[in-house]
Structures are given as structure tokens and as C-alpha cells.
Amino acid sequence: MNHMSTSAVALALCACLLLAGRARAADGGGGTPDVARAPEQRWTALPAADGAGGFTGASSLGDYLRAAESLSPSIGRARSGHEAALAGVEGVGWLPDPTVSYGHYFEEVETRVGPQTHRIGVRQRLPWFGKLFVAKDAARERTAAASERLRATRLDVAARVTRAFADYAYLAEAVGVTEERHLLLASLEEVTRTRYATGEASYGELMKAQISVARVEDTLASILARRATASSGLAAAVGLGDDAMLPWPDAIPDAAVPVTSGAIELLEERGPDILALEHEVEAARYDRRLAGQAFVPDLTLGVDYIATDDARMPVDESGKDALIGTASVSVPLWFGKHTAAVRQAEAVLEAMERQVEQRTHDLRVEVRRSVFELEDAARKVVLYRDRLIPAALQSVEATGASYRAGGADFDALVAAHEVALEFELVLARARADLLVNTAEFARLTGDDGQESDGLEDDDGSTFRRQ
């Protein structure tokens, strides 16, 4: 009877541990269940954070995104390209450099007022009215395209950093959930060992308990082995060395779910890839106009100054210098060359237009897929948070009570625990996917500042992450 009491007390303590570990998840008040223990107890099996790159476990996704703005080589390259395009605009639209000529008379030309000794001339070519404006407009369009490319690169880097951070945070969450599973199964194994010692449990049940613990330990070891790869991925996305070991994130950040209605219209209005191509098409149109203007002659104005020495004989205006105004026009004689340039510009323009059309079709497909994945992840968050996990926790409680009363076997109790913890892993993965899909939606549509429409609960209401 004393052994029976000891076994019952041990089993009751184990059940209290199980229920206490999930009390916060079952009473979330509409928030996502949190399976983590207190921070000082959570990562007992993990190496200490080394603060690589100045980051700590408390560093948020925003901290990593801000670091990527200054460290990412991709953003730096795009920013340099934009600055080069801006400088290019400033160098377009000017008149051609004037030319200065000098001529020396080896044999002086005798005139009435004296011999001419040398001459100095200045020429300024004046392109046909409109050529400089067209070239300036083309440069402005290319600068606008470079600006959109920079915005696209920033969104792409933000999406890559978000994906890497979400995967790393999910891995940390998986470690915490697996550690908790290990703790619970180890407690159950101790209870089973006590029951086996008193004859209340069979040797087979004890072996099953030990096998369950060993399987969880193997799973935990596999997850921990993936840390270096996940950390390298995040470090590379930010722009740090890919050998940096970053600290574990504290938690998976909540996603601000964007409004997905009108996603295609948003893509066409704000999508950086499409806008960049459209600006390049406009630049190609200006290039076509500029090529057509090669058939129009340019005007060149000039002034010549001729120095004259004093006449040998005394005459009026002796030694008077001459000043001559000149004007000339270019003759676009080589029509074949200009026609070829026009055909080339037209071909480039047509190719750019076809590229915009194809890229628009491709991006529409990507946006539709992104919307589906985003809504699917949001649906899973609501389903597992509000329905499946609470039901699984109730099953754990009911199975534990039945096991204590001798009405349920050990397999049913272990299965109930594993289902509850697997659901928590699925919820963590769904939250990470939702974060990734939100960043991907922003990358495609170019809109990362929309109002959140929240996630709809089963009763039709919506919730927003705080």
C-alpha cells in the first residue's frame, strides 16, 4: 500500500508538471499559445549566445533589417548604381564643348591694311532644338528605373533576412518544444519506472518509455546540429560573414498581416520590378526619338579673329584686325547609318515592351501564389491556436487522469503528449511561414506599409498581433 501511494504521488506530480507547462497556452486570451518556459530556463541544452555582430537574443527582426541596410552588398551595389544614374542626369543636356582653333600664316597674306599673320577661331555646335531635351528625359527615366531597382533590392534583402530570421527563430522554438517534450517524457519514464518497481507497470511499458526518451534526444540533437547552417544563412542575408554564430532569437515575431484584396492592382501600381521596366521602356522611347533626329542637321556658329600687322605704306586703318562670324550646318548624308540606328532603337524598344509584358504575367502568378500561401499560413495559425491545441491539451489532461485511474495505457498517454507538442511545432512553423509570406508579399507588390486586416477567428471576428 505504501508503494501504491508513492506511485500515485509521483504520477500526480508529473500530471501537475504537464498541466502547469501548458496553463499559459490554454489561457492565451486570444493570443498565440506560448509553449516556452521562462527565459532563464528555456535553452538549457543550447550553447551560450556569443553576441556575434553585436546581436543578442533580444535583437528583433527590425534590428537585423536595419543592419542589412548598411551591411548588405546587394543594397550597396544598388545604391551605387542609383548614385551613378543621378550623376549621369547631371551630365546630360549640356551643349557640346566649344572648339578653339589657331592658324598661323607661314606666308603672310598681304591686304590693303597690312599683312595677316595668324587667326584664332571659336566654334559652338548647337544640336537641333529638342535633341538635348530628349537626351535629358531619357537619362531621367533611367534614373527613375535605378531608383526602383534600389527599392526592389531593399525589399528583396528584407525578404531574405526575414526568411532566414524566421527559420532561425523557428529552429530555436523547435528546440524549446523538443526540450519540453524530453522533460515530459523523462518524467513519465520515471513514473513508469516507479510503477514497474511496484508491479503496476509491465517491462514492455518501461521499454517504451525509454525508447520514447531516446527518440526525443535524437531529435533534439538533430535540431541542434542545424543551428550552424541556420545562423550562417541569417548572417549572410544581413551581410555579416557566413561563419558568424548568431545568438538564438527569443521568439518568432508576430507578422502584421497585409490586406491581400486588390493585390494585382497593387502590383501594377507599386511593384518595383514592373515600375523599373516601365521607366526603362520610356527611356527606350526617348532613345528612338533621338535616333530619328539624327536625320536633322545641327547648326554650328563661330567667330574668327585675324591678326593684321601694319601696312608697309601709310594707309587708312593700317593694321586693322579682321573679325569674321561663321555659320555652318551638318549634312546627314549617310542615311544608311542613321537608318540602322533607328532600326536598332526600335528593336530595343520592342524587346523592352515584350519584357514588361512577360514580367507582368510572371509577377501576377507569383502574387497569386504569395496570397494563397499567406492566407493558408494565417488559416493554420487560427486553426491550431484556437482549436487543435486547446483540444490536444484537453486530451492530455483526460488521458492523464484515465492513466492514473488505470483506464488508459501508457501508449495512449505518450501519444497524447506527442500530439499536443507536434501541434505546437506546427503552430510555430505556421507563424514563421506567415512572417515569411508577409515579407514576400511586400517584395512582390512593393507595399510594406499596409494596414493589417488581422486573422479571422472562427466566429468571424478578427485579431491583430500587438
How many Å is the maximal CA-CA distance in the chain? Answer: 150
Is the domain of 28 the same as that of 58?
A: yes
Measure Cα distances from 43 to 188, 241, 330 in Å: 21, 25, 80
Residues of 320-339 as b/e, b for ≥16 C-beta within 10 angstroms? beeeeeeeeeeeeeeeeebe
- Give Cα 377 distance to the centre of its chain: 19
Is the domain of 348 the same as that of 255?
A: yes
Is the domain of 269 the same as that of 364?
A: yes
Please give the grid coordinates belonging to residue 286: 526617348
So what's the pLDDT on residue 54? 79
Q: Would you list the DSSP string of 155-224?
A: HHHHHHHHHHHHHHHHHHHHHHHHHHHHHHHHHHHHHHHHHHHTTSS-HHHHHHHHHHHHHHHHHHHHHH
Please give the grid coordinates belonging to residue 60: 528583433
Supply the range of the domain harboring residue 120: 99-128+296-329
Is the domain of 179 the same as that of 103?
A: no
Question: Which residue do the cell numbers 517584395 mark?
Answer: 443
Please answer whether residues 255 and 373 qualify as being in contact, where contact means their C-beta atoms are separated by less than 8 angstroms.
Answer: no
So what's the pLDDT on residue 185? 80
Is the domain of 315 the same as that of 437?
A: no
Q: What angle do CA 171, 61, 368 make, to 5 degrees?
A: 80
Low-confidence ranges of the chain (pLDDT < 50): 1-51, 450-466
| Number of domains into which the chain is organized | 2
What is the C-alpha separation between 426 and 420, in angstroms, rounded?
10
Measure Cα distances from 453 to 163, 260, 277, 386, 441 in Å: 22, 9, 31, 18, 14
Is the domain of 349 the same as that of 442?
A: yes
So what's the pLDDT on residue 242? 67
**Cβ atoms within 10 Å, residue 159:** 21
The model's pLDDT over 178-215, given as tens digits with 9 standing for 90+, comes to 888 788 888 878 877 887 788 777 788 788 888 888 88
Q: What is the CATH number of the domain that holds 197?
A: 1.20.1600.10
Is the domain of 192 the same as that of 306?
A: no
Is the domain of 136 the same as that of 63?
A: yes
What is the C-alpha separation between 19 and 23, in angstroms, rounded?
6
Is the domain of 104 the same as that of 154?
A: no
So what's the pLDDT on residue 449? 54
Q: Is the dihedral of CA 141, 143, 144, 150 positive or negative?
A: positive
Last residue of a domain, which of 329, 348, 382? Answer: 329
The answer to whether the pTM exceeds 0.85 is: no
Is the domain of 162 the same as that of 244?
A: yes
What is the C-alpha separation between 240 and 232, in angstroms, rounded?
9
Is the domain of 302 the same as that of 360?
A: no
- Run of H or E residues at 133: helix 131-197
Is the domain of 51 the same as that of 197?
A: yes
